[in-house]
Amino acid sequence: MAKVTLLTYTTEPERTVASAAKLCYSASDIATIKDGLTDEKTASFVEMLAEIGHESPIEHAYFTFGIEGVSRSLLAQITRHRIASFSVQSQRYVKEKNLAYVTPPEIAKDPEALKLYKDSMAQAEAAYHALADKLSAGYEKEYLAAGLDEKTARRNAEKKAIEDARFVLPNACETKMVMTINARSLINFFHHRCCNRAQWEIRDVADQMLALVSKVAPNIFKVAGPPCLVGGCPEGKMSCGKIKEVREKYKNMREKF
């Protein structure tokens, strides 16, 4: 299943945010911008920003995550958050030697559904390798005819072949990525993806990310999570109807720190 690692983040993220905010509201200059920013004053600045809705200083804090064991289906969802940077393991350059894939929990707990699912994964993998081998053989002949040596021709042929063979691979295929995002956009990400109405896989990733950043910047992410943590549910008729349970979940998560 999904595993999220906080690879790196802005040094002293909350003090960086407080410094930017301080510049906006005082006559401080750059050389002395951090002077007097104790932990207490830093927390006060960050809380003030949340209270007045001044969010731009929060953008100065960045967080970089390593995300693995997730599906290509999740990739399609997470990259919709455009104020972020992504580096993803390529199916074009990396051959799927032993197909690793994500199994949805609802399928995993139904023996018949699980067998059907595994069979379809095996068929897709077999088709992928058959196509890659067939295409590679044809490309190798072309490269040899063009004068390339055998080793180079074979290597180039395989790379070219998997470009097209990958089209039969399912959304379930595992992938991994590095994602960098600023704190303001990350709060927006949590707003949408920690919600019970979010798809289960990306909700799990979002919860892991929130737990990690809450440890290093607790004031920035003090009320981060689904919107119902600080107000009513905005989903209307589509609401999960579990506000009490959701609030308890995130309260318990933060108490662990």
Catalytic residues: 193
φ/ψ (deg, to 5) at 235:
-85, -5
Query: Looking at the DSSP assignment, which residues form a beta bridge with residue 63?
Result: 9, 181
Contacts of range 206-210, beta carbons closer than 8 Å, 24 or more positions apart: 207/253, 208/2, 208/3, 208/4, 209/4, 209/6, 209/63, 209/65, 210/253
DSSP state of 230: S
**Cβ-based neighbour number of residue 2 at 10 Å:** 17
Structure tokens belonging to residue 124 = 């897709």
d(CA 165, CA 160) in angstroms, rounded, equals: 9
